[in-house]
Structure formats: structure tokens, C-alpha cells
Amino acid sequence: MKYILLFTGCIIALLFESFAQGEDNIWLFGKNYSLDFSQNPPLLRDDRYINNTLIANTSSTLMPNNEHFYDFAQAVADENGQLLFIVKKHVYRNTGLGYTVPAPNIFDRNEEPIAGTEFLSPSDMEEDRPIIVPDPNDPNRYYIFHVRNGGLLYCLFDISLNNGRGDIVPGQKNVLHYGYNTLVGRSMVTVQGCDGVWLILRHKVANQFLSFKVDANGLASVPVISEIGSMANGEYAYLNEFVASPDGKQIALVKVKVDHLNQAGGVELFDFERCNGKLKNSRLFETGQLTYGVGFSPDGSKIYVAYSDSNPVLTPMAFWWRDHNLYQFHLSVNDLTAIVNSKTLIFTNPYVQQDLPFCPLTAPYLGSIRSGKDGKLYFTNGAPRVCSGTGGVGMALHVINSPNLPGLACNPSINAIFNSVNGMSTGNRSSSRTNLPYPLVSAPTTGPDTQFNQSVSLAVCFKNDTILKAPQNTSCLLWSTGSTDTQIVVNASGRYWLRYVIGCDVIVDSFDVNFTELPKVELVQYGCNGYIQFSAGEIGAEPFGLSLHNSLGGKIYESASQSLHSVYNLTEGFYNVKLTSGVGCDSTILVELKAYPAATIIVTPASAEIRFGEEVILQADGGDSYIWTPATGLSSRIEQIVVAKPTESMRYEVVGVNPYGCRDSAVVLVDVVYDKTIRLPNAFTPNGDGLNDFFEVPAGAFTIRRFEIYNRYGQLVFYAKENEHRWDGRFKGADCPADVYYYNLIIDFPDQTNELLKGDVTLLR
């Protein structure tokens, strides 16, 4: 039977990651380059803000090194897109002291450093990249997370302090939140949860991702742990990218292969449950490739991956010369093979002539990929300063205009954004990628809605259990049984409920399950062939209807309503059993009747002939127990070996039972032979001398039915009573005279025959 669960109610549209109006409008990258999404198309600024004026158009001197040299930056604006502050991760301060001199990490809205905001020594943060999470409890406060020596630290920054320039809250600087030597510091990602923000990091040793929640209750002290990951643990320590889809439902990371460390790398996808911070469903592909960049399309249906591919012409001559290509994969297909097969080349990064002696050709790395508010994808071309007079574009931004569309329909624009004031000619490092900032992810402004659907009634007919399933594409499942699986097995009537989340809407479904129990029917039943008993149900159980059909469809039995059905004397084979109940349930099951080994009984001898009064030994074989019938003339009725001494011919039958209870019978004929010759004397002398005193019938295997003696006048002088078999020559107490007398004798034999004997006898005195 099929059971279909119907769910009522509206399916709420999927929630996408939402930001406040303008807080994430400004992207900083390179050396104070920025992209401002307050305008459409976004405005590229090449230097720094001073009252919204480019420094190149003022008389100011060049920016000092303590502001200029940094790897990564993240800017925070107000809801109108006006800059509030900047967090920078420094490379170094050019003071001649190398990495030893800390520099401020936070800059105010005028891009002036805020004293005392040094997070760590630059060398301590070499592999780290700070990330900002707005405090859901206070619009003026922001968590600034970074990793030092494998430990998660944060500073709590308050924009209302320091006369509105902002400052770190006293006592909230470099707070160790999670122990040292546990986390990978170079890759973090934030995802908007259903009632807060998730900060996700990779464990340094265990095969785990850790999700820290920031919500109205503050920063959670205990992370949500996801035991997942398809690569070796060591590969996660040096991820090239770690990103989330704009809707927060997918996580992707990319790792370049490292042959000498035996690291195959690849692209790994995960599903992310925004309601509970869990990563699930790892899918690893494109292993053994030089993959180093990854990004999602705005609708999450496509993923874009940057590769360092061999150039068939130039790579053999110079191992460092490789093409940098961007490929697209379809994530809307169901299986991993289809995702891999959808791989499509979108474009190859242009070569440039680098500003070095002899102006050599350089193949730049593509920068990190990020989705803009306008629905386009942005990433830098990674180009360094180019030689003057050679033409070409230095560092610029590529744009994919329609990233949700498949293949080249995504409409890539090469070097689409370029500032001619200084050509954006300098990257943040001359030998590595130029990365765009992390997205600024805020907690949702409203909490999840809860929807209670109408209860579904489910009748379960003639089954001991049934399966309740959750709808597809749901998360954060919780059944009334406590299970969090996608389905549960229930075996008792009652109400069950399921709580789950679609997007961030909480939905509760309930099920009223009513079991009509399957009657007790053994699918294989045994018996002696021809005597097999089929049974279904049990005394005292709920009555049900049953009809029994043989393999040819013939109906053998039918009864409308009984607790126990029994059908006897069946042969082995398959039978269809149709069950019905008063509540409309019906089901047909196939039952096999199997026969035990048959009994074969034989008797030795098979027949016998004996004289009357003799005996014969009869022996039965083939069973464990026996019964002989009839009992006449037998020494026992239940022994295997019996002595037969019949007085007449007998047909004996023995029934034997084998160890399985199956029976068989055998017959033996014992023929009794009789001597019917009867010799009567022709004279006797009843004188009391003890010799020949009586006229008598000799003993034999017969019964005297009638014995009469008459004198010559026809008078009856003797009549046998109670089987008397002799006459003493007297009549009415007196001696009869010597004479000739006549007799009539009727003899009955055991073989049901009789004989009439007539003659005369002489009485002598």
C-alpha cells in the first residue's frame, strides 16, 4: 500500500540573506581601493575618502604607510551608505622594524586610525582575516572576530564612543572566546540565521565545523558542531576560499591540490541549516585540480570556480605560466555527476605586461568572487602595475552581469570597472590575489513565524507499523518522538507532530494515526500433506473477514467476521488470503502451506495363513508410534511388533505416525484354516464302566448350534442345552433300551459356514 501525507497551508517564499539598507554598501580591497554600491552602477574609488573627495584631487600628500599597507579590509556604513568605520588587517608598517610594531586596526569615518585599536602584532595575524558581525542587541556595537594561534578572539567596537569616532568597549579587547590551537584562522564565513548570525570556522584537528551564534542573547559560548568533511583534515588548514551562498543555504570551500603533501584538494559543497547552524551533505568534486577561487550566483543555482590551468603552449617552457580560467557549474541538478558534467568555461583572465625589467608577460590570479546588491558577480583581475607605454589594463574588476543564467548566457564583462586616474595599477601584493571583503551579515529584524497546519488523518490498514515522512527541502526537524530524522516509524495509534523549518518559517504538522492491526497470519504454515491446517487470527482478537483461494483462483473458504479462522485438510502450495475489516480495510497476502515429510508404513509379513489355534508375529515399520485394529486376537494394539492369534481369518490395519505427526496405514490379511472333518461313533455302551459310556461330538473349532437324538418312533429323547456335546443314553432320568437311534447335528464354523450332520447310532447294553 502507498501512504501519502498531505500538508496544508502556504509554503512561504524562501528568505534570502538580508542586509540593512546601506551598511554593506562600501567594499574595500587592494590598497584603499573601494567600490561604492550607493550608486548604480557602483562607483570605483581609487584612494581614500576625505569628506567624499578623492585624495588624488586634493593637495594632500600620499597616504602614510600605517594606513596604506594591509591585506584585507571591511568597511561598515550607516543605513544610508555613509562610512562609519573600517577594520584593516595590516601587512606591515614601514618603520624599519618589520613586523614588530603594531598598528591600529580600526579607522574612523574619515579613515583616520583610532588609537589603541591594535588587535595583534601583524605577524600574529599573518594567516588571519578579521570579520565583523553587528551586535543584534545594540545598533552601535559590532563584534570584530579574528583568530590568533588557533584561538577565536573578538573585540567589541562601539561607534558611539570617542565622540562618535567609535572605540573598543573597555574590557572587550582581544577577548579569547574559544581555546587556542583549535581553529583554522585564515577562513571564516558568516551566515544570517533565523534569529541571529552564524560565524562558521573549521576545527584545526577534528573533522568538524564550528558554528558560533550571535543573537539577542549575545555570543554563544558553545558552538554547534558539524561532524563533516570529505577531505583529509590537513587540507582544511589552508583553504583558498570559504564562502556562503547569498541565501545562506549552501556553503562552499575550495582547496588547491598540493602534490608534495599528497593533498588532492577540490571543491566541496555543503547544505547549511540556518535554523540550527548545521552543515550537512558534503559533496567533493574536481579533486586533483589547481582550484583556488569559488563563489555562488545570487539565487544559489550556479557556482563559479577559478582554476589555474596548464597553458598547452607556454607551460612546457615555463612551469609558472598558467592560464587562470573561470568555470561555471549547475547546482540545480540532483546528483554530483551531473554537477561535474555541467562544467562550462566562462572566460580566461587576460595576460598583462608587468612593470618589471623587460616588461614580462604575467598571468594574474583571479580575485575572490562576491555577489553585489545589483545581482551581479564581482571579482578583481589580479593584475599588478603594468608597464607604461605597453597598453593594457592594470588591476580592474570583472563583472558577470547575469550570473543566474547558464553558460555564456551569464554575460561576463572583462575588466568592466577601471579607474583611469591611476589605472588601479597596484595590487595589495605583487604575487598574490586581490580579495574583496567579507559580506557584512546582520541578524534578521524579525523573528521566525510559526504556522500550524491542519492535522492529517491517516488510517493504517493491516500493518504493524507505518512511516511518517517530512516534506523535502526542510531543515531543523523535530518529531514528537524526539527524533530529528527525515522520517519515523510508528506502530501505535495516536497523534504525532513534526516541527520543521522552510527558509526561516517554523511549520508544525500533526498526524492522527489510527491502526487497524494486521490479524495474526503466519506467511508459512506447516502440516501433513492433505491434512494441513491453515489458521488466521486468534481467539479474543478483533473480528475480521477472510477468504482463502488456491493458486488457480478457486475459493476454498470464506467467512465474514471471526476472530479465528481455520481451514482443514489442505494440500501444500500457495494460497491467496484476502483480509477485510469493518472500517474498510482490505489486503491480500500470499501464504505458503508446506508439507512435512510423509510417513510410509509397511507390515511384515504382508499376509499370512495359519491353522486354527496357531499364531503369527506381525511387525510394522516406518513410524514412531502405531495403533492396530481390530484388537481381536492381538497381543497388543500399540506395539511395533504384535502376536496375532485369531480364531477366524482377520484383516488387520496398522496406522503409523512419523516424528512430524504425519500418518500412513498398512493392511495384513491373516487367513485361519479350519479342519471341518467330524467323526461320530456309530455305537456306545452307557454301562458305567468308564469306557464308551457316551455318544458325543468330539471337540473342535466349531460351535454346536443344534444336537438332537430321536428313537425309532420319532420321539425326541435328547436335546443339547448350552452347547452340550454328549448323550448318556437316558431319557427323563431312565435308561433307554438298546436300539438304533437317529441324530441331527448342526455345526457353525468360525468362517461363518455351517454343516448339518445326520446319522444313526446304536445303543448297546
Range with the lowest mean pLDDT among 39-53, 337-351, 408-422? 39-53
pTM of the model: 0.69
Topology at the third CATH level for domain 456-516: Immunoglobulin-like (2.60.40)
Q: Is the pLDDT of residue 306 over 70?
A: yes
Residue 101 — pLDDT band, cuts 50, 70, 90? low
Mean pLDDT along residues 12-38: 67
Confidence (pLDDT) at 503: 83
Three-class secondary structure assignment of 509-575:
EEEEEEEECCCCCCCEEEECCCCEEEEEECCCCCCEEEEEECCCCCEEEEEEEECEEEEEEECCEEE
All structural domains of the chain with their residue ranges = 456-516, 524-595, 602-673, 683-763
Confidence (pLDDT) at 390: 72
Domain at 683-763, CATH class? mainly beta
Q: Is the pLDDT of residue 427 over 50?
A: no
Q: Is the pLDDT of residue 128 over 80?
A: no
Q: Is the pLDDT of residue 77 over 90?
A: yes
Residue 120 — pLDDT band, cuts 50, 70, 90? low
Q: Is the pLDDT of residue 493 over 60?
A: yes
Confidence (pLDDT) at 215: 96
Q: Are 686 and 694 in contact (CB under 8 A)?
A: yes
In order of 339, 378, 410, 664, 730, the CA distances from 331 in angstroms are 6, 20, 15, 73, 133
Q: Give the phi and the psi of residue 654 in degrees, each rounded to 5.
A: -120, 130
* Tens of pLDDT, residues 365-399: 999 999 999 999 999 988 877 787 776 777 889 99
Confidence (pLDDT) at 91: 53
Percent of the chain having pLDDT more than 90?
Answer: 61
**456-516 and 524-595 share one fold:** yes
Element (H, E) at 336: helix 336-341
In order of 110, 491, 542, 586, the CA distances from 583 in angstroms are 79, 18, 12, 9
Range with the lowest mean pLDDT among 7-16, 718-727, 738-747? 7-16
Topology at the third CATH level for domain 602-673: Immunoglobulin-like (2.60.40)
Confidence (pLDDT) at 406: 96
Residue 679 — pLDDT band, cuts 50, 70, 90? confident
Residue 68 — pLDDT band, cuts 50, 70, 90? low
Q: Is the pLDDT of residue 70 over 70?
A: no
Q: Which residues contact 43 (CB under 8 A, 6 or more apart)?
A: 35, 36
Q: Where are the beta strands (DSSP E) in 563-659?
A: 564-570, 573-580, 586-595, 602-604, 607-611, 616-621, 625-629, 641-644, 650-657
Range with the lowest mean pLDDT among 2-16, 555-569, 584-598? 2-16
- Could you give the angle at the alpha carbon of 299 between the alpha carbons of 297 and 301, nearest 5°? 70
Q: Which CATH architecture has domain 524-595?
A: Sandwich (2.60)
* Tens of pLDDT, residues 162-190: 999 999 999 999 999 999 999 998 789 99
Residue 601: CA count within 13 A, CB half-sphere: 24
CA–CA separation, 516 and 541 (whole Å):
12
- Name which of 219, 73, 103 is nearest 153 in CA terms: 219
Number of Cβ within a 10 Å radius of residue 623? 23
Neighbour-count burial of 301, counting CB atoms closer than 10 A to its CB (0-12 exposed, 13-18 middle, 19+ buried): middle
Q: Are 599 and 531 in contact (CB under 8 A)?
A: no
Range with the lowest mean pLDDT among 42-46, 328-332, 506-510, 759-763? 42-46
Confidence (pLDDT) at 51: 40
- Name which of 157, 212, 213 is nearest 183 in CA terms: 212
Percent of the chain having pLDDT more than 70?
Answer: 88
* Tens of pLDDT, residues 558-575: 999 999 999 999 999 999
Range with the lowest mean pLDDT among 72-86, 138-152, 293-307, 714-728? 714-728
Number of Cβ within a 10 Å radius of residue 697? 22
Mean pLDDT along residues 626-630: 95
